[in-house]
């Protein structure tokens, strides 16, 4: 029985005693830092040492000294504020003349949105393909992999394949995307992966000659999540 074997194997995995001891020590130490707060040891301050008998820290400071200290604080705060303003101005000026944030469109699937400024298109492709090749082996029998394998056989990367057929791709509206996500578990689709933050994915869909549809999503720069859709009559009818 799988369950029994898996339980047996996991029971053998235990943290080291040394680690557990260090864990307790570190958590307890962290607890002290969090709970002690901003306690100030006045015994070690200069002012405390200069006090005479019966005097309080505040009493030992003259009015002129207090006014002086107050102005010093005002000047210090103003200086910090000025530094922040200058930094914000400089940063804002750089953005005006820096790279534009180009929206990914059907004519340029690998856009600045996907690539780091110093990365070439081919480097982005390689990262995407590397990830895809890591997970594609799980679905040898799936149509999504067959699609990609066909592209590989032609000597193309996944992104090149999609770029060549980019005229067939259209960006899905949010409602369509939600419908696809809700149907993912009905086995009409084969999904490689989907992150928790579904809103961060931009989905594209294309129809191919054999009447099947392929959907893919671009989430982070290095990831591609792919699903194949078959039998999308309801969506085709709405187009």
Partner 1 sequence: MENNKGFVMSVEDAMDRFSTDVYRMAYARTGNKSDAEDITQDTFIKYMKEQKPFSDENHVKAWLLRVAINSSKNLVTSAWHRKNTSMDAADLMSTMMEEESEVYHAVAKLPEKYRVVVHLYYYEGYSVEEIAQMLSAKDSTVKSWMRRARMKLKELLKEDIDV
Taking CB under 8 A as the binding criterion, the range among 30-38, 69-77, 90-98, 103-111 that sits at the site for partner 1 is 30-38
Instruction: Please write down the long-range contacts of 199-205, taking CB distance under 8 Å and 24 or more positions apart.
Output: 201/177, 201/225, 202/104, 202/171, 203/171, 203/172, 203/176, 203/177, 204/106, 204/109, 204/162, 204/169, 204/170, 204/171, 204/172, 205/169, 205/170, 205/172, 205/176, 205/229
Nearer to partner 1, 26 or 60 (CB): 26
Closest CA to 154 of 164, 140, 143: 164
**Does residue 1 interact with partner 1 by CB under 8 A?**
yes
Rounded to the nearest whole angstrom, what is the least distance from the CB of residue 104 to partner 1 in the complex?
20
Contact 227, 184 (CB under 8 A): yes
Stretch that binds partner 1, among 23-31, 51-59, 107-115, 150-158 (CB under 8 A): 23-31
DSSP 60: G
Work out whether 34 is an interface residue with partner 1 (CB under 8 A).
yes
Give the separation between CA 235 and CA 211, rounded to whole angstroms.
12
Smallest distance from partner 1 to CB 3, Å: 5
Smallest separation (angstroms) from partner 1 to the CB of 31: 5
> How far is the C-alpha of 121 from the C-alpha of 202, rounded, in Å?
19
Residue 118 binds partner 1, judged by CB under 8 A: no
Site membership for partner 1, residue 51 (CB under 8 A) = no
Q: Which of 3, 41, 42, 94 binds partner 1 (CB under 8 A)?
A: 3
Is 133 near partner 1 (CB under 8 A)?
Answer: no
Contacts to partner 1 by CB under 8 A? 1-3, 5-10, 12-15, 19-20, 23-24, 26-28, 30-31, 34, 127, 135, 138, 184-185, 193, 196, 222
């Amino acid at each position: 029985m799988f369950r029994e074997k898996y339980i047996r194997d996991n029971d053998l995995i235990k943290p080291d005693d040394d680690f557990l001891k260090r864990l307790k020590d570190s958590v307890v130490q962290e607890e002290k830092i969090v709970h002690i707060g901003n306690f100030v040891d006045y015994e070690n301050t200069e002012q405390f040492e200069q006090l005479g008998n019966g005097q309080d820290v505040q009493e030992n400071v003259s009015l002129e000294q207090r006014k002086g200290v107050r102005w010093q604080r005002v000047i210090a705060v103003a200086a910090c504020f000025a530094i922040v303003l200058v930094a914000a101005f400089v940063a804002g000026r750089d953005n005006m003349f820096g790279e534009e944030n180009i929206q990914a469109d059907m004519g340029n699937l690998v856009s600045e949105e996907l690539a780091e400024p110093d990365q070439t298109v081919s480097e982005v492709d390689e990262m995407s393909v590397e990830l895809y090749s890591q997970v594609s082996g799980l679905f040898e029998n799936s149509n999504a992999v067959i699609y990609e394998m066909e592209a590989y056989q032609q000597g193309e990367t996944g992104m090149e394949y999609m770029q060549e057929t980019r005229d067939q791709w259209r960006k899905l509206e949010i409602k369509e995307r939600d419908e696809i996500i809700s149907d993912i578990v009905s086995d009409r689709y084969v999904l490689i992966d989907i992150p928790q933050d579904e809103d961060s994915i931009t989905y594209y869909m294309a129809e191919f000659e054999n009447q099947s549809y392929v959907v893919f999503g671009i989430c982070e720069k290095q990831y591609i999540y792919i699903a194949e859709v078959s039998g999308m009559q309801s969506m085709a009818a709405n187009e």
